[in-house]
Structure 1
Amino acid sequence: MPIKTKTRDFWPHSRKISRFLSLLLYFVVSLLCVLGLPVLPVLPHNLSSTSLLTNATITNSPLEQGKILYDAGRFTEAVQVLQQAAQAYKQTGDKVKLAITLSNLSLAYQQLSEFTEAEQAISESLKLLEVRQNSQIFAQSLEIQGRLQLLMGKPEAALVSWQQTEKIYQQTHNDSGLVRSQINQAQAWRTQGFYRRAIQMLEIVNQQLQSQPDSLEKAVGLRSLGNALLISGSLPKSQEALKQSLALAQSLESHHDMAASLFSLGNHARKQQQTPAALTYYQQAIKLSPSPLTKISAQLNYLSLLIESQQLTESESLLPTIQSQLNQLSPSRTAIYSQIKVIFEKENTS
């Protein structure tokens, strides 16, 4: 009889945990969509269209402060600082710095899912740069416009923007910008479902990168190739590219790119149903990543895989850490976090 009683007590508790974690997994998937769409293969971290543009002559300025806040995932604060910087540059009449600031402001708005404001900011930036249409700054602003267009479900328009940047970078002999444009174009093709065309472009980029010296551009290019091959189902080639990307990031001691490659390798292992390997990759990504957004994405993938593999005890122990990480992120994502919190409270009181 005692054994029967324990069994009766255990299974309701197990089902309760499983139900709770399954509900949480639903919101994990939703959150990953918010954090990761689109997953642009842009490069490198401090020059990419997902990181704020800077100018070598602009230091210790509101623009630089905005960049620091942005890279830390503090997007609302970044918007406030960049708005102040834009007003200051309007008053001084510095159109170039104003254009850079507005482009950065558009990026911060994009992270907050405030697309109307993002579109207005990037439009103003490009208008200010109309007389500089062959300049590097114009091309970088076009990259940001392409990112916004892809986020808004307009991959065809994004493709056109990135084709324009490719031409500018070719004319200005900017090899890293050229590679970045081609990788972004591959993302646009992939988003439209043209996986083969995306892979063909990335393989051309890969050939170009192999002949170049080691660099962050090369590391990110290989990672982008690996991610595209993973989606297409070319798993051996995907793993080869991702491991090469990781080795290169390690040699360059870039923790950001090491974490990103480990995260992709975790997804690759998960695709092959290699759960222990995937968990290890995610753990390493969590440990190495200096980016709050990358870190929480890895933690959420780690958690969801624990749930899928029915490792419920470890899943429960991870929840306080994830909840703490979520509390540090941008208020724009509060809607999803509050739903997760509701689940915590309901299940804890039931």
Structure 2
Amino acid sequence: MAFQIKKRLWLYISISILSLCLAVAIAPAKASLQVPTNSAVNVSAFTSQTTNWLEQGRNLYNSGRFAEAVTAWQTAVQKYHGQGDRINEALSLSYLSLAQQELNQWEAARQSIELSVKILQTAKPSADAIIWGQILNAQANLELRIGKAETALEIWQQAQKYYDQAGDKMGSLGSQINQAQALQSLGFYRRSKQQLQTLMQKLAVMPDSEIKVSGLRSLGLALHAIGDAKSQEVLEQSLATANKITAKTQLSSILSSLGKVASDSLDPEAALNYFEDAQTAATNPNEALQAHLARFKLLVDYDKLEYAIPLAPQLRQQLSELPPSHSSLNAAINFVATLNRLENPDRVLPSKDLAQLMADTVKSAQKIQDETAEAYALHEWAQLFRRAKQWSQAQELAQKSLNIARQLQADDLIAQSAWLLGKLYKQQNNRQEAITAYTEAVKSLKALRGDMAGVNPDVQFSFRESVEPVYRELVSLLLDEEPTQDALMEARELIESLQIAELDNFFREACLDKAQQIDQVDPTATVIYPIILSDRLGIIFSKAGQPLRYYVTQKSQAEIEQTLNNFLIALNPVSDSTVREQLSRQIYDWLIRPAEVDGAFQGTQTLVFVLDGRLRNVPMAALYDGDRYLIEKYAVALSPGLQLMATRSLSSNQIDAIVGGISQSRAGFTALPAVESEVKQISQTVPSSMLLNQKFTSLALADRVKSGSANIVHLATHGQFSSRLEDTFLLAWDGRVDVKELSELLKNRSGNSSKAIELLVLSACDTATGDDRAVLGLAGLAVKSGARSTIATLWPVKDRAAQMLMTRFYDQLRLPKITKAEALRQAQINLIRKTDFREPFFWSAFVLVGNWL
């Protein structure tokens, strides 16, 4: 369960002069957005009464009581206005805006910060640079949270100038960390990473202080948000510095941050130790609760209920003792949400106790005017009734949650509540109402794409738990019985949207916004959408100018996936060829045979697969009809179903290639002796520039791409595709290049689409073994790099076979009027019929993703 995904990104907000802290709003259970005490510079301007209101507002804000903080700061604004103290009035308004943002009061927050800036512009005497820096920081915070990252970036740059002018080094550093966050939101990950690395160097030479501790923690979380492994190192530096200067008040939050990093790195033992230490180090009840809750959730997530069960009553007691606040309410919601994911929560705590906790939470949320918490509490309460099969009560609560979500225009809330309503309607056999509710949920998930993907994994919806099932369950409803053409078109669009959502989830940022029906690209292509549902395999066939066709095989998901796994194992050349052919034929009968018998492929030259789930790892070219492989009958391409840019045929007088590779052992990877021959032969076959071994560095590749006019980039080196962004990389001589760096590097042509790379070839890469979402790395790179087509391998192939296939591919590509898919097909057929590499293992690993023309 994640909370307030939309507009609740962590930020580094400097709103004081002498001290800074990280404004972390990753999840309401950890609502630790701080408003530090004001500096001595401003204190002289306060009356005792207004000082009290400002201080009271800060205390309320820090404890998560945002509505009360709003009231306190509104009073401070009125007092300062009455005294004619324009500068402190403006400062109070900026504080007020931050509290209103936490309450999703976006229009009120905008009015407060705009008035704050307007007052400063006309204030006599002029405000200090430091005040300008603070207020601009608050303004940029709002802009980023409402999705205007470019504006936020510009404002933070202005804020930095003011901090520099005032000599406030930490204010300047904080603004720069915020700029890195804005760059991430805009998709400029390379620039963001460079900026963060520069900040690391600046912080490293600063004297030890609490400010440095906060800065390092902020930086560690920023690096974690972009998947940089150095995040742990930086957080450890923060912890070491805090221990060195005895900064006890910061220890718990740093240890909790380290626990989050360890948990996301799939190191539960280390995470558990960090959370236990964070709980011990806590200096206030809220910190102790957050650490306790994180520890409990980890144990439940890893199915260690024997250790989680004793913690549950303690947590229940802690939750009941804390006064109502934004953070305490959301801690209660997170607690119940964690248990709601279990098959049987009653093993941990009786459901009636959990229901009572949510009922109390709803009342408390209403009392402190926290509508977001109220809606989430209603949602979890409804889940408890649904589990008990008390449909009417569950439906009533889910509808209330959805109504509040609509009022707040909170797409994350709408998605979850509408999905729950859809499931309730479905369980009561109300198909049409279920489709309506599911459709609303999907619409909100689409609206959330950028927000959902761009944030730290700690706040992301768990894709497999909370996004993918919504799409699949709606597709299943649409394809029930005899689907109409409208239903088929909607199901097809949903599968393509799911592909987009998966890529967004993989990259933690939005990929492409526009989708173009790929069956309109080539009238000689048939597009095939296999859809794995829980109880069947549905397949939609799409060809330009013809109605959609639909075939279904009644097989359980488990049986389908077992067959696919067995086939992948049987592809090993030492396996029994009879078993391999039998399994291959079975899959052929599911995916191809029904349409083939119906004559659906008449006039088809290329089959384009938009593959689903485990099918992505299966080489379609190797499917066997009992006589011939599929590749011997049709060219084969894969597509994520996304926009395909117009392409040009690559005739011999147009080809301009960059050919790079590493043949020697490097960075612990084995040597690839045939790579040298492959690189040299291709360089002789087509006009190209060559980067071999020491010359193949990431910088050299970037320079060639940026300065040249190459339309093909061919890289023969170790690499891996994985469903984990951190484990997807390519090896250059100077080290690993992660998938985001590579995609930015390949796009580095001033956004000129006419100079886009026509073809990216990765001839020695691997997909992570046993990872049925690993091909996302390949598909994602194909989309993000701007390359119109990508050729890569699904598993490591003998480098001699790769060299032979690639050489033949380029020989074919030089021929007039040949498509990339056909050139690859001819190269694969050549290996089948004219070499010792006739087994599918050697040639079917090569797949073409993207535009096949």
TM over 0.5, shorter chain: yes
Is 1:40 aligned to residue 11 of structure 2? Answer: yes
Is 1:182 aligned to residue 207 of structure 2? Answer: no
* Amino acid across the alignment from 1:254: A
Is 1:128 aligned to residue 115 of structure 2? Answer: no
Other-structure match for 1:63: 54
1:267: Cα distance to partner? 1.8
Higher relative helix content = 1
Decide whether the 8 Å contact of 2:90 with 2:117 is kept in 1. Answer: yes
* Amino acid across the alignment from 1:56: V
1:105: Cα distance to partner? 0.7
TM-score by length of 1: 0.80
Is 1:305 aligned to residue 288 of structure 2? Answer: no
Other-structure match for 1:161: 155
Other-structure match for 2:35: 52
Decide whether the 8 Å contact of 2:20 with 2:170 is kept in 1. Answer: no
Other-structure match for 1:10: none
User: What is the aligned counterpart of 1:328 among 324, 336, 339?
Assistant: 324
Structure 2 vs 1, CA of residues 294 and 342 (structure 1 numbering), >3 Å: closer, same or farther? farther
What SS is found at the alignment partner of 2:43?
A: coil
Structure 2 vs 1, CA of residues 200 and 261 (structure 1 numbering), >3 Å: closer, same or farther? same
TM-score by length of 2: 0.35
User: Aligned Cα RMSD in Å?
Assistant: 2.9
Other-structure match for 1:18: none
Other-structure match for 2:673: none
The whole-number CA distance in structure 1 between the counterparts of 2:14 and 2:137 is 11
User: What is the aligned counterpart of 1:95 among 66, 71, 86?
Assistant: 86
Is 1:272 aligned to residue 265 of structure 2? Answer: yes
Structure 2 vs 1, CA of residues 244 and 280 (structure 1 numbering), >3 Å: closer, same or farther? same
Other-structure match for 1:191: 185
1:292: Cα distance to partner? 6.9
Q: How does 1:242-261 map to 2 (within 5 A)?
A: 242-261=235-254
The whole-number CA distance in structure 2 between the counterparts of 1:328 and 1:182 is 35
Decide whether the 8 Å contact of 2:94 with 2:113 is kept in 1. Answer: yes
Structure 2 vs 1, CA of residues 139 and 78 (structure 1 numbering), >3 Å: closer, same or farther? same
User: What is the aligned counterpart of 2:135 among 123, 138, 141?
Assistant: 141
The whole-number CA distance in structure 2 between the counterparts of 1:224 and 1:56 is 27
**For structure 1, which segment, 120-129 or 82-91, has the greater mean C-alpha deviation from structure 2 after superposition?**
82-91
The whole-number CA distance in structure 1 between the counterparts of 2:109 and 2:149 is 17
Q: How does 1:11-50 map to 2 (within 5 A)?
A: 26=1, 29-30=2-3, 33=5, 37-42=8-13, 47-48=20-21, 50=33
The whole-number CA distance in structure 2 between the counterparts of 1:289 and 1:262 is 10
The whole-number CA distance in structure 2 between the counterparts of 1:263 and 1:293 is 13
1:281: Cα distance to partner? 1.3
1:84: Cα distance to partner? 1.6
1:288: Cα distance to partner? 3.4
Higher relative strand content = 2
User: What is the aligned counterpart of 1:239 among 225, 232, 238?
Assistant: 232
Decide whether the 8 Å contact of 1:292 with 1:329 is kept in 2. Answer: no
Other-structure match for 2:481: none
Decide whether the 8 Å contact of 2:91 with 2:116 is kept in 1. Answer: yes
Decide whether the 8 Å contact of 2:256 with 2:278 is kept in 1. Answer: yes
Other-structure match for 1:22: none
Other-structure match for 1:284: 277
The whole-number CA distance in structure 2 between the counterparts of 1:277 and 1:169 is 38
Write out the 4+ residue segments of structure 1 that deviate beyond 6 Å after TM superposition.
Answer: none
1:116: Cα distance to partner? 1.2
Decide whether the 8 Å contact of 2:183 with 2:189 is kept in 1. Answer: yes
Other-structure match for 1:263: 256
The whole-number CA distance in structure 2 between the counterparts of 1:198 and 1:293 is 32
The whole-number CA distance in structure 1 between the counterparts of 2:43 and 2:296 is 41
1:227: Cα distance to partner? 2.5
The whole-number CA distance in structure 1 between the counterparts of 2:284 and 2:191 is 31
The whole-number CA distance in structure 2 between the counterparts of 1:124 and 1:56 is 22
**For structure 1, which segment, 64-73 or 252-261, has the greater mean C-alpha deviation from structure 2 after superposition?**
252-261
Q: Tell me the alpha carbon deviations over residues 207-250 of structure 1, each in whole angstroms, 9 at most, x when there is no partner.
A: 11222211233222322332333344432x22221111111122
Structure 2 vs 1, CA of residues 133 and 213 (structure 1 numbering), >3 Å: closer, same or farther? same
Higher-RCO chain (CA-CA 8 Å, sequence separation at least 6): 1
1:71: Cα distance to partner? 1.5
Structure 2 vs 1, CA of residues 325 and 310 (structure 1 numbering), >3 Å: closer, same or farther? farther
Decide whether the 8 Å contact of 1:256 with 1:290 is kept in 2. Answer: yes
The whole-number CA distance in structure 1 between the counterparts of 2:119 and 2:159 is 17
Decide whether the 8 Å contact of 1:63 with 1:85 is kept in 2. Answer: yes
Structure 1: gaps (5+ residues): 1-25
The whole-number CA distance in structure 2 between the counterparts of 1:99 and 1:44 is 12
